[in-house]
Structure 1
């Protein structure tokens, strides 16, 4: 049993989402979105390095020594899986560990809109789950993939860095590939996936032009592609995809995206005030004919208005989701104001001193 497993047990027992270890500091847990110190001594650099290297794959230690960054997944016996990130900082080494549930949650478990299940059953198209780091994107995608695996009879390929949730081949055949271990890069795995008879391809993150281009090609050629981006709204997501490409190609990409896009799910997690933990606020854009036309005609700025008027189709803005959570007494109104796109709708919730200081 690795020495770090005692910390991982504490992570699980307290219900924290993350564990942070840094040279020269006490260990910390993220509970309900806030960091709390563990009653333990400060860890010195060499001491922490020994702890971290005990669980790192041997082939990866040299990578960390040369680059200062490392991502991998670790299965702690009797505790569960963790996503591990090692990095160097001014005082020495540091690490962040994210707890991954052993059982993949369902869409119902997470309280997600049922329409996400319908999106997972579509024969083709591009579905993007977006939001800041730590907003639950991977968990939402995992629930959608579980719904597909339990319902369809198809071939699912995931390309991840690292693999987080472990999926069961229930009705579907599920093959999970890890960048750096099973394949050289997202782009290389995507290129190979098109020759591996997939029906659904999950791309852990669309990081660069080549990966985005291949994901669009896969969606255009009859595959359902699920992926993530670090953007804060549906409109900004579409802009990000298009802006990755050179100016002389953007008209072509707008046309391709208008045809292949199925949905953009933009989400953020906020601290609850009615109970421990955090709650999800979600914006949902569905690629209706009106949305496709706006993308093609480069009128992305009009998309928020289309979402507002598309509630009958299941669409919703982030601001509407925030207002619902405030009305239900689940989040602090000031937090809603801070996360709102149209802060004018929330001005009554934030004191003048807060508004002027933000």
Structure 2
């Protein structure tokens, strides 16, 4: 029977490769995601229902087991011996557990190491307002946010409160005091977490989810009240981000939301990770929209479709469209030409 140490054995079998995920599901051999592609680890035997049940039992504490029993699903960050922190997604399928283990990078990269432009790094200097870090799944959003939080903590004497589900990276207290709340463990909801952070006199609030109107209303309220709020959304560029935000609210509220958003917005950073030309790594393409007065006016006047042109015209301020960022990577020989038209 498989036990929890199967995770270490799988990692040993692919040592030196760029592995991000391990999948264990009954009826097939373990699978791994390497360089973005799912591959079966055929040197291992087929996983049985008893195996996943046993692994889950060894991996989760009693609180997580209770949540899994109630919801038949859980996403939790756990610490595994000889590996460190991993994110475990566990759900039911065909009457048994399926497990996804996401390997978290134990070395917390700096923004410079990630290839994030200096203008994005400098957002850590903002003391109030709203910064949105956007992108599809596996676009590096959480790593970027974590790096910015670390930068703030190292340079500013303040209180930072994060609201996450689950907590992925543990921050050390530096110049800043960093308190991290996990939804379902330390707080009941993201909305409640934001309200708690405001009441606890947080200077900086980070929320790893902003995708419903109650949460986003709380985010806007916090930013209006002088907090710096950093939030993530699964949107691909500036236009889709603003349109998604507005779509969360009824039509009669959208004008008000545009006004509030324009008042508090500092930046929208949209990310995409693209395989390098040699296939050995990923390169970060990034769209940067900084909330200049001209940009705020377009939002207030609902001229959202004009934003890409203004981003292009504002290159001297550090803004760039996703299209131009991808072209820059191609011109440097970092990515394949096929990405220019995607």
TM-score > 0.5, shorter chain as reference: yes
| Corresponding position of 2:20 | 17
174-183 vs 104-113, greater mean Cα deviation: 104-113
- Deviation for aligned residue 1:319: 0.6
Uncovered stretches (5+) of structure 2, i.e. residues with no partner: none
Q: In the alignment, is residue 232 of structure 1 matched against residue 205 of structure 2?
A: no
- Deviation for aligned residue 1:180: 0.6
Q: How many residues align?
A: 338
- Deviation for aligned residue 1:142: 0.6
- What pairs with 1:273-284 in structure 2 (closer than 5 Å)? 273-284=277-288
Distance 1:12 1:289, change over 3 A: farther
- What pairs with 1:130-169 in structure 2 (closer than 5 Å)? 130-169=134-173
- What pairs with 1:179-258 in structure 2 (closer than 5 Å)? 179-258=183-262
Q: What's the RMSD between the two structures over aligned residues? A: 1.7
- Deviation for aligned residue 1:62: 3.1
| 2:290 maps to which of 269, 286, 307 | 286
| Corresponding position of 2:326 | 322
The Cα offsets for residues 305-342 of structure 1, whole Å up to 9 and x where unpaired, read as 1111111110011111111122222222223422xxxx
| Corresponding position of 1:270 | 274
Runs of 4+ in 1 over 4 A off after TM superposition: none
- Deviation for aligned residue 1:90: 4.1
Distance 1:271 1:177, change over 3 A: same
Q: Secondary structure at the match of 1:17?
A: strand
The Cα offsets for residues 117-140 of structure 1, whole Å up to 9 and x where unpaired, read as 221110101001111111110000
- Deviation for aligned residue 1:275: 4.7
| Corresponding position of 1:6 | 8
- Deviation for aligned residue 1:81: 1.0
Uncovered stretches (5+) of structure 1, i.e. residues with no partner: 339-358
TM-score by length of 2: 0.94
| 2:71 maps to which of 44, 67, 71 | 67
- Deviation for aligned residue 1:26: 1.6
| Corresponding position of 2:102 | 98
160-169 vs 48-57, greater mean Cα deviation: 48-57
Aligned partners of 2:9, 2:78: CA distance in 1, in Å?
A: 13
Distance 1:160 1:299, change over 3 A: same
